[in-house]
Amino acid sequence: MSHGTDRDALYLDGDWHAPATDRTFTAVGAGTEEPLGVFPEASRADVDAAVAAARRAAGGTRGWGTAASRAAAMERLALALEARTDALGTLIAQEVGTPRARAVEANVGAAAGLLRFYAPLAGVMHSEDLRPAGYGHSLVRREPVGVIAMIVPWNYPLSTLFFKLAPALAMGCTAVVKPSPTTGLDSFLVADAVHEAGFPPGVINFLPAEREVGEYLVTHPGVDKVAFTGSTAAGRRIGGLCGALLRPVTLELGGKSAAILLEDAPLPLFLDHLLDLSFNNNGQTCTNNTRLLVPRSRYAEIVDAVTDTVAAWPVGDPLDPATVIGPVAGAAARERIEGYLDRGRREGARVTTGGGRPAGLDRGFYVAPTVFADVEPSMVVAREEIFGPVVTLTPYDGTVEGAVALAEDSAYGLAGSVWTEDEALGRRVARTVDTGTFSVNHANFDIGAPFGGRRDSGLGSELGREGIEAYLQYKTIFVTEPPGPDEAEEAADTAGTAGTSVAEPVPAR
């Protein structure tokens, strides 16, 4: 039985409101193709109402609330989300196809963790640094950016939202969130949690909508910044719109990352990490290392080992604890992936396992986890993001430098890894590859460290202490005399702290 239920109202300005039109979306189970629930489709009029509410709540350069009240509200939201762990984990598994345990960890756990990571940083907003100048002093003040349009994807609907929402809330910004229609139903559970947490009206608003309404939100005159996660094509469009408006934008986009196996690669360790490294979330993860670059001297051995490992993974119902690979998120996603499978065959790549729909799973949007061997770097399947459970293996000859050059032969620059018994060599390779994140001998992701891409993989960074910078703007006040103690305390009162420096370290949680 689904945890999703039909919804008939939109959450904006601190309460549930009837939508401006009667248009709706229907959420569909990835593993069953059965309806999960119906919910409203937001229109331009709803965007106008939500942005107006967010502007009222934003409080100009003051932001909403004090640092203490923001941090307290964020903790209440973390608790409210955790209280809905079962319902959210089950619904996201049904919507996306993510195996349920991973849906909980990567969404609910990540969201609560991000709220608790950024809440202690709330005092950074409005903190002031006094710096000596050629004449007098410069008082450098940090202020919130204002109203943020947040457009989030379907693959990790909670974590990608809270990459943005947690630091924005801590810095006193307000948000108008456009979830993907594919996973719009779970956003209503998040809105329930927001309402329970008692945020001031207008601080957080949710508007599930199609792309045309999303573009209206991006260009709305009441929006101060846009934060987007999604495809490179959509990111180019949003970046172009923001560029014309001189509007700040953060873009976390696609990837075609490479795992470099050196001559001494520890194969058992690599195979232990292969699921998280290359097939995470049924392949629906932008940081997946989907290009495996293998030394020719070990090519046959590694192709066989990867093939055997992938072929052994159970494929099935995302709610079944035994499932390793679930379905993909919808018919369109499956058709796109199957188009790449056909293209790879036509280009001459060799399918060693998978390559189509798994036997016995006639209902649901299933694609068997697939390994392509003998893939040339020029092939489409080696260059374009497939966003499904598919990896390619490409042999290389020669030096470490040649392997690095092959890894960098891509329009993308989001992630990557190197596998070697020599950790020092691995770190040298990691420092060399031009990409936003890189792992040595493991698959990892850390909310305490910045995350972002190069080239077609995006613009700007999220996460880590650095993640607050996207939601801060700076004001310099030239003064002849430094402020006295009483004035400094008054200036910091809104923030709820005094003298906070953005350079102070904050431990990862």
252 is catalytic: yes
Largest Cα–Cα distance of the chain, in whole Å?
78
* Res. 3: pLDDT tops 60: no
Q: Is the overall model pTM greater than 0.85, yes or no?
A: yes
Binned at pLDDT 50, 70 and 90, residue 426 comes out as very high
Per-residue pLDDT, 505: 32
Quick one: tokens of 291? 């290009």
Per-residue pLDDT, 491: 61
Per-residue pLDDT, 509: 31
Neighbour tally for 84: CB within 10 Å: 18
* Res. 343: pLDDT tops 90: yes
Binned at pLDDT 50, 70 and 90, residue 324 comes out as very high
The pLDDT tens digits of the residues spanning 199-253 come to 999 999 999 999 999 999 999 999 999 999 999 999 999 999 999 999 999 999 9
Q: Provide DSSP, 238-267.
A: HHHHHHHHT--EEEE----EEEEE-TT--H
Per-residue pLDDT, 483: 85
* Res. 423: pLDDT tops 70: yes
* Res. 498: pLDDT tops 90: no
Nearest to 495 by CA among 55, 38, 59: 59
Over 319-353, what HEC string results? CCCCCCECCCCCHHHHHHHHHHHHHHHHHCCEEEE
Same fold, 10-253+457-493 and 257-446: no
* Res. 488: pLDDT tops 80: no
The pLDDT tens digits of the residues spanning 366-402 come to 999 999 999 999 999 999 999 999 999 999 997 899 9
Annotated active-site residue in 95, 252, 385, 462 = 252
Measured between alpha carbons, how far is 12 from 5 in angstroms, rounded to an integer?
19
Rounded mean pLDDT, 471-497: 74
Identify the residue whose tokens are 């039109």: 21
Nearest to 42 by CA among 172, 208, 252, 284: 208
- Report the range of poorest mean pLDDT among 171-180, 192-201, 277-286, 459-468: 459-468
Per-residue pLDDT, 492: 57
Q: Provide DSSP, 76-144.
A: HHHHHHHHTHHHHHHHHHHHH---HHHHIIIIIIHHHHHHHHHGGGGGGTT-EEEEE-SSSEEEEEEEE
Measured between alpha carbons, how far is 208 from 201 in angstroms, rounded to an integer?
19
In percent, the amount of the chain with pLDDT more than 70 equals 95
Sequence ranges of the domains in the chain: 10-253+457-493, 257-446
Binned at pLDDT 50, 70 and 90, residue 504 comes out as very low
* Res. 152: pLDDT tops 90: yes
Per-residue pLDDT, 60: 81
Sheet holding 472-479, edge to edge: 128-132, 137-144, 472-479
Q: Provide DSSP, 27-57.
A: EE-TTT--EEEEEEPP-HHHHHHHHHHHHHH
Binned at pLDDT 50, 70 and 90, residue 125 comes out as confident
Give yes or no for a contact between 187 and 177, defined as CB atoms under 8 angstroms apart: yes
Alpha-carbon 266 to chain mean position: 30
CATH of 10-253+457-493, one of 3.20.20.70, 3.30.390.50, 3.40.50.200, 3.40.605.10: 3.40.605.10
Distance in angstroms between the alpha carbons of the first and the last residue of the chain: 35
The pLDDT tens digits of the residues spanning 60-94 come to 888 999 999 999 999 999 999 999 999 999 999 99
Binned at pLDDT 50, 70 and 90, residue 490 comes out as low
Name the 3-class secondary structure at 396.
strand
What are the residues facing 392 on neighbouring strands?
291, 372
Binned at pLDDT 50, 70 and 90, residue 122 comes out as very high
Please state, in angstroms and as integers, the Cα–Cα distance from residue 21 to each residue in 24, 37, 40, 178, following that order. Answer: 9, 18, 8, 17
The percent of the chain in helix, strand and coil, each rounded to the nearest 5, is 40, 20, 40
Per-residue pLDDT, 265: 97
CATH of 257-446, one of 3.40.309.10, 3.40.1160.10, 1.10.10.10, 3.40.50.2000: 3.40.309.10
